[in-house]
């Protein structure tokens, strides 16, 4: 009865959990291709949380930029403006999308040209202290709604 079940369960968890358990499933990660000389870009992705607890993203790092900030868009008197947010929550059993016009990861102070198709390494940091690495290919991202996003980054 129990002992055997426990053994099986333990064995399974040992096999399925690598040394660093990754709390999120990252889908469709991509970094926006920008013209040469650009100082900023942005990363977009869908973060899915299969776990039982909310996962709270508090920071990110990438070798291609001096800083990676968590940003959101906010309507300020009818003008969409970007602003930095302290955290992005991925609810237990749910998902959060980082997409043009909404939440995104701002890459500030690019240290290398972003070549289309090339993978960009990004490390996510959570409030738990855990980290998770992912690769996001550089893609040309076209936003239908031409307007305030894109250029108007107020730093």
Judged by CB, which is closer to Cu ion: 56, or 80? 80
Question: Is residue 68 involved in binding Cu ion (CB under 5 A)?
Answer: no
Which range, of 16-24, 58-66, 80-88, 93-101, touches Cu ion by CB under 5 A? 80-88
Question: Is residue 24 involved in binding Cu ion (CB under 5 A)?
Answer: no
Which range, of 16-24, 50-58, 106-114, 129-137, touches Cu ion by CB under 5 A? 106-114
- What's the half-sphere exposure (Cβ side, CA atoms, 13 Å) at 140? 1
Between CA 133 and CA 131 the distance in angstroms is 7
Question: Is residue 82 involved in binding Cu ion (CB under 5 A)?
Answer: yes
Judged by CB, which is closer to Cu ion: 33, or 106? 106
The distance of closest approach from Cβ of residue 63 to Cu ion in the complex, given in angstroms and rounded to an integer, is: 19
Between CA 83 and CA 32 the distance in angstroms is 18
Judged by CB, which is closer to Cu ion: 25, or 108? 108
Question: Is residue 65 involved in binding Cu ion (CB under 5 A)?
Answer: no
Between CA 41 and CA 35 the distance in angstroms is 10
SS3 127: coil
Q: Supply the DSSP string of 25-75, one letter for each residue.
A: EEEEEEEE---TT--EEEEEEEEE--SSS-EEEEEEE-TTEEEEEEEEEEE
Where do contacts with Cu ion occur on this chain (CB under 5 A)?
71, 82, 106
């Amino acid at each position: 009865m129990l002992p055997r079940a426990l053994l099986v369960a333990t064995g399974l968890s040992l096999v399925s959990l690598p040394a660093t358990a990754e709390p999120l499933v990252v889908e469709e990660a991509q970094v926006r291709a920008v013209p040469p000389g650009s100082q900023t870009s942005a990363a977009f992705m869908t973060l899915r949380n299969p776990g039982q607890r909310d996962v709270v993203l508090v920071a990110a790092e990438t070798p291609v930029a001096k800083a990676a900030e968590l940003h959101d868009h906010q309507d300020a008197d009818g003008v969409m403006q970007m602003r930095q947010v302290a955290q992005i929550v991925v609810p237990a059993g749910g998902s959060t999308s980082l997409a043009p016009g909404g939440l995104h990861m701002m890459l500030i102070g690019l240290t290398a040209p972003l070549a289309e198709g090339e993978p960009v390494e990004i490390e996510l940091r959570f409030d738990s202290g855990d980290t998770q690495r992912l690769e996001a290919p550089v893609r040309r991202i076209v936003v239908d709604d031409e307007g305030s996003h894109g250029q108007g980054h107020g730093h």
